[in-house]
Amino acid sequence: MDNRIDNIHVAPTSERRAEPGRFGQALRTAATTVANGLASGVALAAPYVPGGTVLSAAVRGAVSSPSRPAGATVAASLASGTAATGAAGTSTGAGGDGDILEATRALQQEAQVFNVQYLQLQESMQRESREFTALSNVMKVKHDSAKAAINNIH
């Protein structure tokens, strides 16, 4: 029985180019929406935060032109004496100030909650690290003791 393999022909590879699908477009849309929401939130808090106007300009510039560095947008904004504001803008009416204050307080409360969660995570990680170190030290002493006992037998 002859099990000889005939000549193998390997076709050259070609680069596959896929058209962007609906999923890619949905991700782009979601990312844009989140970025615009973030920029609007920063713009709302900008008047109440030291350096908030510069931060707002940087975020707005990064969102509006992602290919251009945010520093260039901030520099251009500061040079012209203007600052980027959120899509909602800032209102000087009595009702607008109350809304901005409420939004700022809500953002601060949310930031406090995140800070507490972050501290809890840090404490948990430190506790796990201490437990791991203690267990590792105990196992090393046990190993070294067993090794010394075996070496003493010979």
Last residue of a domain, one of 90, 113, 131: 90
- Can you list the alpha helix ranges (DSSP code H) found in 81-93? none
> Which pair of tokens denotes residue 149?
């006992």
pLDDT of the residue at 128: 95
Are 83 and 118 members of one domain? Answer: no
What domain range is 67 assigned to?
21-90
Of residues 147, 143, 125, 145, the one with CA closest to residue 135: 143
Residue 8 lies in a domain: no
Q: Are residues 77 and 137 in the same domain?
A: no
Residue 151 lies in a domain: yes
- Provide the pLDDT confidence category of residue 9 given band limits of 50, 70 and 90: low
71 shares its domain with 113:
no
Single-letter residue type at 66:
P
Highest mean pLDDT among 15-19, 33-37, 62-66, 138-142 belongs to: 138-142
User: Of the ranges 37-41, 89-93, 97-101, which one carries the lowest mean pLDDT score?
Assistant: 89-93
Which of 71, 90, 109 terminates a domain? The answer is 90
Helix, strand, coil: what percent of the chain each, to 5? 70, 0, 30
pLDDT in tens, 45-94: 777 777 777 777 777 776 666 554 444 444 444 444 444 444 444 444 45
Residues 6+ apart with CB under 8 A from 68: 61
Residue 135 is assigned to a structural domain of this protein: yes
Task: Say whether pLDDT at 22 is over 70.
Answer: yes
Flag whether 43 is in a domain: yes
Using CA atoms, how far apart are residues 78 and 134, in angstroms rounded to an integer? 55
Mean pLDDT computed over 124-128: 94
Judge whether 84 and 142 are in contact, CB under 8 Å.
Answer: no
pTM: 0.33
* Number of compact structural domains in the chain: 2
Tell me whether residue 14 is in a domain: no
User: Per-residue confidence at 116, pLDDT binned at 50, 70, 90?
Assistant: very high
